[in-house]
Amino acid sequence: MAIQISSAANPRVKETLALAKHAERARRRETVVEGEREVRRALAVGLIPHTAFVCPSLLSPTGLALAAQLRALDQARRTLLVEVPPELFAKLAYRGDSGGLLLVIPYLAATLDSLTPPEPAFIAVIEGVEKPGNLGA
């Protein structure tokens, strides 16, 4: 059963807000996923969020379907589903267009050994990048 939180002083909210800092994400081995597309992709690959924040009044029809999936995970006790009002969701979300969905997910434990690239494969390894955001440029 989803819990409802309406205060920014709630410890779960404070813990989630702390994930804005890289050091906190690295320490807890968790990160945040927000928005319909990103949540859909995370669920499609089998990621089980630790916590799912949902703002029912911001959900689109697609968001409602995703929220139903999250509710099923909550009922199976695999995820904690938290419903929040729009003003609290606005504090939690980094983006303005998150569509009322935000997940706290575990870091993936992927290694180069776990990769199974198709044949022929082209793999680039980038080390010591000063500004990772510029890689696509």
* Contact present, 32 and 104 (Cβ < 8 Å): yes
Provide the 10 A C-beta neighbour count for residue 136.
Answer: 5
- The verdict on pTM exceeding 0.85 is no
3-state SS track over 87-108: HHHHHHCCCCCCCCEEEEEECC
Span between the terminal Cα atoms of the chain, in Å: 45
Mean pLDDT by 10 residues, the chain (137 residues): 94 96 95 95 95 97 96 95 96 89 90 83 82 74
pLDDT value for 28: 96
pLDDT value for 125: 79
Please give the domain boundaries of the chain with CATH numbers for all domains. Answer: 3-108 (3.30.1330.30)
d(C-alpha 51, C-alpha 37), whole Å: 17
pLDDT value for 137: 67
* Contact present, 80 and 16 (Cβ < 8 Å): no
> What strand order describes the sheet that includes 3-4?
3-4, 80-83, 51-54, 101-106, 30-34
